[in-house]
Structure 1
Amino acid sequence: MSTEEDPYSQVCTVSIKPLDGKAEGTCSGILLDTQQGLILTHASLLYPLVEECDPERLRRLVRDGSGDKRIFSGAVNIEVTLPNSDNGLENTFFTNDRTIHPVKLLSQAVQDVRPFVRCKGKLKTIFECKRLRDVLTKLMPSDSWQFVEDISAVENKTEQDNKSGNKAELCYNLLPFFILIKLQNLYPMENVLSVRDSVDNKAGDPVEICATPFGNMSPEVFLNAKSRGILSKVAGPRGVLLMTDARCVPGSEGGALFYCHKRKRLLTGIVIASLCWKNNEWVGLSLACAISEVIGSLKSHLTHDLDKIKRTEYVGGFGQGFIPRLIKHVRCVNVGHNWGSGVVIDSEKGVIMTCSHVLNDAKYSGVHVSDSESSSSEMCNIIYRTPLKSQFDIALIQQKNVTAHLSEDKQIRFGKAVEGEVVYVIGHAIFRG
């Protein structure tokens, strides 16, 4: 099986342990950006650490929908365990399922082959998927649904011991929250994950959970265990909430939910609950959140880092200074004494999209375009336009002579709009180009 069809190497486990505490939070995670070492996991990582969190900052997190490393009262250690694999041909062996490429790690004493590696990390941000929260509040209200490991502890709690009750409430409140962690010592590698849009999911789709039961407790035994089933239910706007009969146990939260198509695996969700109870009765379904919705929420929380997440950037991954590059695609569309704005959608053929009303009464010619880098204008032909009184207002024009700097521009990539993301409007609003 090719690496493109083998995304398991980017599923991992995550653990957080305070320097001066005995508690440890652990669950599964996904290496979302292999160049920057960005790990996405679920906020169930915080469940055992409530005593280590600053109470006021924890309340603010639930109230405001975002937080950072200051949520902990003291310093913490974050460790990520990843499968130890390589794309080289040395030491390759085959199984009936896939090719495995173990890496030899050199120690001072002896040469070892280890099944996993550990990396240090730091907490970057904690954020909420608002659309998931709205769906959970509506379909799974806290008065009838619980997401704890032991429901009997909640039922039998006393006035002197409300910790179980507090934990049940915390588990529910943090269900729509996710954590982004940045690895400190990961060597950049190729990203082999392919993401499936949430709108493509439907009940009955074959799926597979790849996660590590009990998190970081025994990765040498359980690292990236698989469980297969179907999507039992897709709920909420854009199918944000996914339910599956693929079974998993505590510690699998943050693991990957893959859509299975022949031998391909498309990342379609992230596990948020391995156990759920309705009216104190166990429901044998695992819950996940659509990964495209989580990425959209992440983008809205990382305004200053938005252009850095290349693998999850919908608009084209321009990197730092992307606005000047976007400006290169903007044209001033001149029709007589009037003008408007357009955007180059095909730089090789010189095709520009604008509004139909900008062209006014122009027929097939009489349209000129110019950009911010040149004082000269170029003739264009109208190749398509909607009627002026139509509910749509779209036109396509094409330059007769495509200039060199235009043909060398990067193509603009298109993506679906995500609620809450940052957008930019660039054009010639007051002055001609």
Structure 2
Amino acid sequence: MGRQWGPSMRVAEQAGCVVSASRAGQPDAGSWSCSGVILSRSPGLVLCHGGIFTPFLRTGSAALTRTGTAFLPGDSCSDDLRLHVQWGPTASSPSARADEELPGLCTPQCASLGLDPGAPSRARARPLQPPRPAKLLLLLSCPAFRSHFARLFGAEAADQWHFVSSAPDDAVSEEEEEDQLRALGWFALLRVQRGAAAEERRGPTVTVAPLGAVAKGAPLLACGSPFGAFCPDIFLNTLSRGVLSNASGPLLLTDARCLPGTEGGGVFAARPAGALVALVAAPLCWKAREWVGLTLLCAAAPLLQVARWALAHLHPGSASLSVLLPPPEVGAPRGLAPRDLGPPWAAAAVLVECGTVWGSGVAVAPRLVVTCRHVAPREAAKVLVHSSTPNAKATEG
């Protein structure tokens, strides 16, 4: 991936993990999984997506949309919730220094793909850490993210957008789709059961980029586990490169390829090297039944602000954990300073809408836009052009 990505790749892989949720004593009830980021190893603190917790909420997913709710304590979920976290070999772990002839860990699902659990690790990835039990400390969201999401994708346009991991034609119940949508901006903070002393190290695992510190167009590295806990030997901590495609407050877009199961995975910057920029909020989205190849992200810095505030206001046993999270951002945001964009037509890229048809266009002069023929057919009754300039309104043509 290039020399510039070396440090970021190491940080991303060391911080990446997969989180699984299931019901105690009910193996047939199924399991849920997503990606996560290890914030600290002593104690083990993990941030992951909140969507896998909706089946366990005592009052249902409606609790996530309650006005003014930015976090929920861990006991908001039922007592039968069981959590496990798994990650790859760490530099200090015995498995990372194991002899190459030792067999790696492989799940039954991997065997179904034809991967031999007994094969020598020299022909396969190094052994993974076994799944560790974890406890849910709190569910949290970024109010600004939810506000921007509602403004951009709600109201009249809501029925045009589809923010779940399945395609519009897939068989997903209305209840499941509503649960996923409600949980889209929610994440979870977990505490992992302490392991062997050789695998522990003090302090945060990652540094966090301040909100706005990464400029539009800057390269990003996404690290998540497609399909969650399915076959971690091959899918755990899969890397994908892209750029920061756009931003609206803490709501970010990237063209890095992310798949279902990467929700909650970390997105890191090349500069500063390995800084955590955001977490994956929605790996796929559809508009007007067309796939949009962009991934929706939630900035990490405001999420951790909420986490620190929530931990400090919960029971005393959790308050001490707030100081062990990555420190709050310092310094002024860089790269997103306001610019004088001139008249509305001076922003070259515009959005062209003609009924249910939409596409991009280029403004070449005041009230003159060039776009593809199929975007604005000649028989169209009304064409709307949206500019990205501040306070701009749609222009009818």
5 Å-filtered alignment, 1:299-314, equals 299-304=308-313, 305-312=318-325, 314=327
Q: What residue in structure 2 maps to residue 271 of structure 1? A: 280
Task: State which of 191, 209, 233 in structure 2 corresponds to 1:182.
Answer: 191
Task: State which of 82, 86, 103 in structure 1 corresponds to 2:87.
Answer: 82
Tell me the secondary structure at the aligned position of residue 221 of structure 2: strand
Matched, 1:245 2:255: yes
The amino acid that maps onto 2:140 is: F
5 Å-filtered alignment, 1:3-402, equals 6-19=11-24, 20=26, 21-46=28-53, 50=55, 52-54=56-58, 56-63=59-66, 64-87=69-92, 101-103=96-98, 114-141=127-154, 142-153=158-169, 164-186=173-195, 187=197, 188-190=200-202, 191-236=204-249, 240-261=250-271, 264-304=273-313, 305-312=318-325, 314=327
C-alpha separation in 1, matches of 2:257 and 2:103 = 37
TM-score (normalised: structure 1): 0.61
TM-score (normalised: structure 2): 0.66
* Maintained 8 Å contact 1:86/1:103: no
Give the superposition deviation at 1:22. Answer: 1.8
Residue segments in structure 1 that go unaligned for 5+ positions in a row = 92-100, 158-162, 316-413, 418-433
C-alpha separation in 1, matches of 2:57 and 2:9 = 40
Give the superposition deviation at 1:10. Answer: 1.6
Cα gap change, 1:199 to 1:284, in 2 (>3 Å): same
Give the superposition deviation at 1:311. Answer: 4.3
1:55-83 Cα distance to aligned partner (Å, 9 max, x none):
x2532333133323444445122110111
The amino acid that maps onto 2:62 is: R
* Maintained 8 Å contact 1:13/1:82: yes
C-alpha separation in 1, matches of 2:327 and 2:38 = 18
The amino acid that maps onto 2:289 is: N
Give the superposition deviation at 1:301. Answer: 1.6
* Maintained 8 Å contact 1:14/1:80: yes
Residue segments in structure 2 that go unaligned for 5+ positions in a row = 1-5, 105-117, 333-397
* Maintained 8 Å contact 1:16/1:45: yes
Give the superposition deviation at 1:18. Answer: 0.7
C-alpha separation in 1, matches of 2:287 and 2:231 = 30
The amino acid that maps onto 2:312 is: T
C-alpha separation in 1, matches of 2:136 and 2:46 = 10
Tell me the secondary structure at the aligned position of residue 65 of structure 2: helix
Q: Which has the higher contact order (CA 8 A, sep 6+)?
A: 2
C-alpha separation in 1, matches of 2:290 and 2:319 = 42
* Maintained 8 Å contact 1:12/1:29: yes
- The structure having more radius of gyration, on CA atoms, is 1
The amino acid that maps onto 2:44 is: G
Cα gap change, 1:311 to 1:117, in 2 (>3 Å): same
Kindly tell me the number of residue pairs found equivalent between the two proteins.
Answer: 292
Percent of counterpart pairs with the same letter? 27
